[in-house]
Structure 1
Amino acid sequence: MLKDVSKKLLYTTGLLGLYHRLRNADSLTVVMFHRTLSPDDPRWTTCDPDYTLATGWLEQSLAFFRRHYNVVSLDQVLASRRTGAALPKRALLITFDDGWADNADYALPALERAGLPALMFVVADAIGTRQPFFQERLIAAWRRGAVTVRGLAAALPVGEAAATPTDEESMTALRAVIARLEALESGVRKQVLAPFMAQLDDGYRHMVTVEELQRLQAGGVALGLHGKTHTPMRLAADLDAELSGARMSLAHQLGHANASAESMSFPHGSFDADIAQRARESGYELVFTSVPVLNPTAPDVGWLLGRTGFETDAVVDAQGRFRDDWLALYLFRKQARRLA
């Protein structure tokens, strides 16, 4: 309790804000969201709770950004990279990963009300599909009681099943099974999941459509790529397809044959130095990682940028209250480091 009171005092007295204004003046903070849903939305009850913010929490996050940062657009960051134009002090870029339909339903109106730009990294092959990636489908099915951790673990190949704990039905145990599935070759994983596919369809549409992408763009949300298939880049059988292929696919779906995304982020945060360089050579001017560092802006902005993940427990306490002081401690103290 004393520790919690100390955090509140540091924030409410303005000491944390002063620390931030002095320490982070010449840095670009990039925050990474995934989903945002209204608790009244039927998708809320089975979403991944770690990566989904209630709409109210998102709005409070945006208000926090307006209070402590100068929120910038992708175009501003690109201009700084291309021309050396200075970004404002304590610059912050808002990003969303994957291409969720709820970003158009809820995040876009919240951004428009706040008058803030953002950037969405979309998975090219997921555009227009109803069901999400297998990880989220498993979490949703487990939360509604359609599958069990024990049943999923028993379906794993013999060696994988033996190494997976199945003594409890918990989110932690489920994530352990999902990690085992992610490590499997895609064909093997499809075989393992085949008996469960009927239970994994919740009947809702989760992924963004072309029309929603166009609406997001019109509302100030720029588009980047998050791979073609959402495969971790270090496991991709065809890296060119995940990089160049994703750009061509998005341009085709949007009907702009000569348009191409200038930015991308790595699915699952999976990359190495060679993959980052391949991404740059594929034409992406800005390449975003999941390395949680602040990006120096002097003398210029780098091409390989860190991002800070925005998980629910970083901003919401056990009573479901949004905590500005937690968010300040979480963001303001990140290390500033140039990645390339």
Structure 2
Amino acid sequence: MLSDLVKKCLYGSGLLGLYHRFRNRRTLTVIMFHRVIDPRDPRWASCDPDYTLDTALFDRCLAFFAKHYNIVATADVLAARRGEKQLPDRALLITFDDGWSDNLDFALPRLRAAGLPALLFLVADVVGRRLPFYQERLVGGWRLGKVKAGELLASAGQARPSAGNDMATLREAIAAIEKLTDAERESALAPLAEAMDDGHRHMLLAEELGVLESGGFAIGLHGKTHTPMTLAANLDAELAGARAQVAPYLDPSEPPATMSFPHGRYTPEIAERAHQSGYQLVFTSDPVINPIADRPGWLLGRVGFEQPGIVGKGGGFRADKLALLLFRKQSRLLTS
């Protein structure tokens, strides 16, 4: 483990930046975000901290990207894939998953101010829905003190006398809930319906998609229901069905050309099926950067990070930590 002083010196001296300029010259780095919220917003109190960045840190991340990368739009990557143009050296694409309303409220204005494009992978069924996925609602209920992790674990049939009320137990309980059948899950969560509702709208409205598009967001798909593709009862609905469902919301009304896998779960067969169903670019959560040579592959890795990984002990942004996290990622072609 590098000491904090060494990390800061490596970055401050410019050596890390020089290393990145040569090592990652012909690569595409795809960044994966979920939520961006101002801590003064009421949604901050119930959001999942592992998937949320505060606005001040998001601004610092954008400045970091602009300093060390050439930020590209989805259209640039699609054109490069078709062989119509080449991506610049050290290309970077910014993406968001799910369809959170805070992407419109907080991420969009900051991206527009910086003149940067982005790509939103939208879950088709969440458009116009107020409440988020049950996993996020459980985290929200727990953060607000309305859901007890040990009790949730018991409701999933995993009762343990020593179970506490900490985040680790909550994650364990949610994982157990995910393994239940739909009927079992509905029965386990029904008594918690009120505790899982923080009273706020979290997901995007159909009319807000046009605002995002006009502001520089491209729209891709993230499945129909947010079910992992490996567990989907109807894979065609999650792939081609989701494209058809979202197309009327967009301008022009065309099926999206990109998608990412919910929960990052897929198999090579599922990836191929997604590609064959009309998605020109398919994004994974495999934490690799993508060699581009003459053109990128159609199956691409993405790199995500959590807020604690890019801040110091006092909570301030640490560019050296983000540099070490991104610049050293494995470069690997997932497919041609």
TM tier relative to shorter chain: over 0.9
- In the alignment, does 2:319 pair up with 1:319? no
User: Counterpart in 2 of 1:193?
Assistant: 189
TM-score by length of 1: 0.96
User: Counterpart in 2 of 1:139?
Assistant: 139
Contact 1:33 1:309 (8 Å CA) reproduced: yes
Amino acid at match of 2:190: A
1:162-177 equivalences in 2 (<5 Å): 162=159, 167-177=163-173
- In the alignment, does 2:250 pair up with 1:265? no
Q: Deviations over 1:193-232 (max 9, x none)?
A: 1111121111100001112211110000000000000000
1:236 to 232, 238, 245: 232
User: Counterpart in 1 of 2:96?
Assistant: 96
Q: Distance in 2 between matches of 1:166 and 1:116?
A: 49
How far residue 318 of structure 1 moved from its aligned partner, in angstroms, is: 3.3
- In the alignment, does 2:242 pair up with 1:250? no
Q: Distance in 2 between matches of 1:49 and 1:98?
A: 16
SS of corresponding position for 2:195: helix
User: Counterpart in 2 of 1:18?
Assistant: 18
Q: Distance in 2 between matches of 1:191 and 1:112?
A: 44
Amino acid at match of 1:9: C
How far residue 167 of structure 1 moved from its aligned partner, in angstroms, is: 2.1
SS of corresponding position for 2:3: helix
Q: Distance in 2 between matches of 1:277 and 1:2?
A: 40
Contact 2:46 2:198 (8 Å CA) reproduced: no
How far residue 245 of structure 1 moved from its aligned partner, in angstroms, is: 0.8
Q: Distance in 2 between matches of 1:126 and 1:17?
A: 40
User: Counterpart in 2 of 1:27?
Assistant: 27
Contact 2:207 2:249 (8 Å CA) reproduced: no
How far residue 16 of structure 1 moved from its aligned partner, in angstroms, is: 0.1
Contact 1:262 1:286 (8 Å CA) reproduced: yes
Amino acid at match of 1:94: I
User: Counterpart in 2 of 1:281?
Assistant: 276
- In the alignment, does 2:174 pair up with 1:178? yes
Contact 2:229 2:266 (8 Å CA) reproduced: yes
Larger deviation, residues 290-299 vs 164-173: 164-173
How far residue 313 of structure 1 moved from its aligned partner, in angstroms, is: 2.1
Contact 1:84 1:300 (8 Å CA) reproduced: no
* RMSD after superposition: 1.4
Q: Distance in 2 between matches of 1:89 and 1:253?
A: 34
SS of corresponding position for 2:50: coil
Instruction: Structure 1: state its 5+ residue gaps.
Output: none
Moved segments of 4+, more than 4 Å: none
Contact 2:283 2:301 (8 Å CA) reproduced: yes
Q: Distance in 1 between matches of 2:59 and 2:181?
A: 40
User: Counterpart in 2 of 1:299?
Assistant: 294
Q: Distance in 2 between matches of 1:2 and 1:334?
A: 16
Contact 1:166 1:173 (8 Å CA) reproduced: no
1:15-164 equivalences in 2 (<5 Å): 15-157=15-157, 161-162=158-159
Q: Deviations over 1:251-274 (max 9, x none)?
A: 1344765x1100000000010000
Amino acid at match of 1:193: L
How far residue 310 of structure 1 moved from its aligned partner, in angstroms, is: 2.5
Amino acid at match of 2:332: R
How far residue 2 of structure 1 moved from its aligned partner, in angstroms, is: 7.4
Size of the alignment, in residue pairs?
335
Q: Distance in 2 between matches of 1:53 and 1:130?
A: 21
1:310 to 300, 305, 314: 305
Q: Distance in 2 between matches of 1:254 and 1:68?
A: 32
Q: Distance in 2 between matches of 1:129 and 1:198?
A: 16
SS of corresponding position for 1:83: coil
Amino acid at match of 1:223: I
Contact 2:156 2:180 (8 Å CA) reproduced: no
Q: Deviations over 1:128-155 (max 9, x none)?
A: 1110000100000001011101221221
Amino acid at match of 2:22: L
How far residue 165 of structure 1 moved from its aligned partner, in angstroms, is: 7.5
Q: Distance in 1 between matches of 2:6 and 2:87?
A: 33
Q: Distance in 2 between matches of 1:299 and 1:74?
A: 17
How far residue 192 of structure 1 moved from its aligned partner, in angstroms, is: 1.0
- In the alignment, does 2:5 pair up with 1:5? yes
Q: Distance in 2 between matches of 1:84 and 1:113?
A: 29
Amino acid at match of 1:150: G
Contact 1:149 1:166 (8 Å CA) reproduced: no
Contact 1:74 1:93 (8 Å CA) reproduced: yes
